[in-house]
């Protein structure tokens, strides 16, 4: 019964297939606003879980526009190519982040994150 409004970023954990496309399994994460961090409201839907994300170091790339799956896949491939074979990062998933509400038509910010091992 508590409204928190929209938070940013909306983070989607993508699990890539061999061809780089998303597997059917994805995980959507929303940041809890600061005032709810110490005592988060309890979800009434059993499919919604409160998790604490540990600190991490990431490799990131940014792009604009209304992001679709193909955009995230393409920018993940570009980031992978830019990092080459020397960088150690998690290969089993990556994070796709959007920072803007749907009604913002210009100046949109999206990012792909690889988590450093």
Among candidate residues 90, 56, 59, the one with its CA nearest the CA of residue 75: 59
Q: Write down the pTM of the prediction.
A: 0.88
pLDDT at 43 over 90: no
- What is the 3 state secondary structure string of 12-74? EEEEECCCCCEEEEEEEEECCCHHHCCCCCCCCCCCCCCCCCCCCCEEEEEECCCCCHHHHHH
pLDDT in tens, 18-38: 887 787 788 899 888 888 889
> What phi, psi does 69 have (nearest 5°)?
-55, -45
pLDDT at 1 over 70: no
pLDDT in tens, 80-93: 999 999 999 999 99
Domain boundaries, given as residue ranges, for the chain = 10-31+55-115
Indicate the pairing of strand 58-63 with strand 110-115.
antiparallel
What is the structure's pLDDT at 44?
A: 87
| Bridge partner list, 28 | 12
Instruction: Assign 85 to helix, strand or coil.
Output: coil
At the topology level, CATH places domain 10-31+55-115 in Multidrug-efflux Transporter 1 Regulator Bmrr; Chain A (3.20.80)
High-pLDDT (> 70) share of the chain, %: 98
């Amino acid at each position: 019964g508590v409204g928190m409004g929209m938070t940013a970023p909306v983070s989607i954990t993508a699990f890539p297939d061999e061809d780089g496309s998303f597997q059917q399994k994805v995980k959507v994460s929303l940041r809890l606003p600061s005032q709810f961090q110490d005592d988060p409201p309890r979800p009434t839907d059993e499919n919604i879980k409160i998790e604490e994300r540990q600190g991490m170091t990431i490799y990131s790339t940014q792009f604009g526009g209304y992001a679709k799956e193909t955009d995230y896949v393409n920018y993940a491939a570009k980031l992978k190519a830019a990092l080459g074979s020397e960088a150690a990062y998690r290969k089993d998933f990556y994070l796709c982040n959007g920072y803007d509400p749907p009604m913002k038509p210009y100046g949109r910010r999206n990012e792909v994150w690889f988590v450093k091992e």
